[in-house]
Amino acid sequence: MTTALRRLRNYIDGEFRDAADGRTTEVVNPATGEAYATAPLSGAADVDAAMAAAEAAFPAWRDLIPAERQKVLLKVADRFEERAEELIAAESENCGKPIALVRSEEIPPMVDQIRFFAGAARMLEGRSAGEYMDGFTSIIRREPVGVCAQVAPWNYPMMMAVWKFAPALAAGNTVVIKPSDTTPASTVLIADIIGSVLDELGHSRGVFNVICGDRETGRLMVEHKVPAMASITGSVRAGMQVAESASKDLKRVHLELGGKAPVVVFEDTDIPKAVEDISVAGYFNAGQDCTAATRVLVHESIHDEFVAALAKAASETKTGAVDDEDVLYGPLNNANQLKQVKGFIERLPAHAKIEAGGEQVGEKGYFFAPTVVSGLKQDDEIVQHEVFGPVITVQSFSDEKQAVQWANGVEYALASSVWTKDHARAMRMSRSLDFGCVWINTHIPLVAEMPHGGFKKSGYGKDLSSYGFDDYTRIKHVMTSLDG
């Protein structure tokens, strides 16, 4: 017997709908490699409908006093907690993620982030009014930008959706969001949660819309005449395409793209502690994280000891079934991503050495072993380009100058870390490293109050924090004559 596939649908103006032309795509569970659902393959008619709904809902949502938008987001956060097990199940099936880790590492920060932006909703302020010309007072208004077209990635479908819709809605914008074509399930569930809250509190459900689809759907969203802003988390290639498309009508663009985080380990580092933390930060979520600790630069005096300890940690790290509470990570997200990671390993230069892992594991699904590769040079492909898999590379450096040069010597600039007991050196490195975030003696913690975003080909704009909130607003100068 063939098991019937679950049918996911778009959420437009408060209704769950199939694609207007009936097209669908299969959604595969990466832990099994088998399809479990179908989702709409949305086209121009679906994008038009979603944008029309968001545009119609915008004036009333914009004009609400901030406290009312805060009420909505606080209730959404409460509902996330109440329906946590549904969200966990959807995300685990979406991504093959271990259930226990989604419960402990994703639900709590998402709820906290929504509540943070609920507070930010009441901080739509400009600088103090003042007189800068005789007889006139100037006032600054901070306003929402309008309809936001948002495209979320497949590595953290739920959390990245939160990072997008929460500041946008808090600032008074309306949203059309597209999940990745490989991971639509949890975003469709989020639509049900937000839609029900909007309805309960007497607001238009057109404030929040979800359309499923592929790259073409995303292109149609970005090029549509209605949105005032396009926001994407994805690859550098996708970001460049979005920036180019948005330039045609000068849309505002918010890009969080790839990363190749350097992890600079000096000779005075506590090696066991550093190895433990770095291996977790490198392998968590199968290394499918733009900030993952996957490019280690270690001082030559401790190189061999560090590599041996890291290889041992890799051999003790588990990947496996979603219900196994001992695993650190699940599968790669899709067959193409598995092929990409394998390709990096197959193309390793002769001078590289695989210290641990390096192969696919399991009889089904897209699982890849925790991997350590040493003996690499700065211009090697695997050093310069984002693998987005559970692969940690190691290079040996001789001094601080070389460490900085190699750390900065990639096209990405999202995150980095420095491992040393020398405070002055840590401060010098934090100044010299050309990355949006520098962690010292840790790697990967994030908090809602602090910004996340990079430079160079890692994109521009910030997620989280008041800076991320500001990105979803525009500034207006109002000047009034004091003569009446």
15 in catalytic set:
no
**Below-50 pLDDT ranges, the chain:** 1-2
Task: For residue 189, give both structure tokens.
Answer: 């569930």
DSSP β-bridge partners for residue 133: 136
Q: Measure the CA–CA gap between 436 and 440, rounded to whole angstroms.
A: 13
Angle between helices 185-200 and 84-95 (to 10 degrees): 150
* Same domain, yes or no: 173 and 32: yes
* Same domain, yes or no: 376 and 421: yes
Tell me, what DSSP letter sits at residue 482?
T
* Same domain, yes or no: 218 and 273: no
Does any domain span residue 1?
no
Task: For residue 373, give both structure tokens.
Answer: 């590769």
Residue of 95, 212, 290, 437 with catalytic role: 290
Residue of 55, 106, 223, 256 with catalytic role: 256
pLDDT in tens, 178-233: 999 999 999 999 999 999 999 999 999 999 999 999 999 999 999 999 999 999 99
Contact 171, 121 (CB under 8 A): yes
Which runs of E-coded beta strand occur in 246-370? 252-256, 262-265, 295-299, 353-356, 360-361, 367-368
Quote the mean pLDDT of the chain: 96
* Same domain, yes or no: 385 and 430: yes
* Same domain, yes or no: 130 and 272: no
Q: Which is nearest to 93 in space by CA: 40, 153, 32?
A: 32
∠ Cα 440 412 309 (to 5°): 50
* Same domain, yes or no: 272 and 369: yes
* Same domain, yes or no: 289 and 313: yes
Does any domain span residue 154?
yes
pLDDT of residue 129: 84
Does any domain span residue 108?
yes
Which position has the token pair 């977790």? Answer: 280
pLDDT in tens, 279-327: 999 999 999 999 999 999 999 999 999 999 999 999 999 999 999 999 9
* Same domain, yes or no: 88 and 208: yes
Does any domain span residue 452?
no
Q: What is the CATH number of the domain that holds 338?
A: 3.40.309.10
Q: What is the CATH number of the domain that holds 67?
A: 3.40.605.10
Contact 190, 220 (CB under 8 A): no
Does any domain span residue 313?
yes
Q: Measure the CA–CA gap between 87 and 80, rounded to whole angstroms.
A: 8
pLDDT of residue 124: 82
pLDDT in tens, 297-308: 999 999 999 999
Rg (CA), the chain: 23
Does any domain span residue 484?
no
Q: Measure the CA–CA gap between 399 and 363, rounded to whole angstroms.
A: 45
pLDDT of residue 136: 95
Residues in the chain: 484
Task: Name, in order, each residue with C-beta under 8 angstroms of 221's C-beta and a sequence gap of 6 or more.
Answer: 47, 51, 149, 151, 176, 178, 211, 227, 230
**b (16+ CB within 10 A) / e for 77-109:** bebbeebbeebbbbbbbbbbbbbbbbbeebbeb
Please tell me the total count of domains within the chain.
2
* Same domain, yes or no: 101 and 199: yes
What is the number of alpha carbons within 13 Å of residue 479 lying toward its C-beta?
A: 6
Give how far Cα 384 sits from Cα of 161, 288, 336, Å.
29, 16, 20
Q: Measure the CA–CA gap between 414 and 58, rounded to whole angstroms.
A: 33
Does any domain span residue 239?
yes
Burial label, 40 (beta-carbon count in 10 A; 0-12, 13-18, 19+): buried
Does any domain span residue 181?
yes
**Structural domain harbouring 347:** 262-447
Contact 104, 339 (CB under 8 A): no
Task: Tell me which long-range contacts 196-200 makes (C-beta under 8 A, separation of at least 24).
Answer: 196/79, 197/72, 197/75, 197/76, 197/79, 198/14, 198/72, 199/14, 200/75
pLDDT of residue 1: 42
* Same domain, yes or no: 276 and 390: yes
Tell me, what DSSP letter sits at residue 319?
B
* Same domain, yes or no: 441 and 473: no
Q: Measure the CA–CA gap between 68 and 61, rounded to whole angstroms.
A: 9
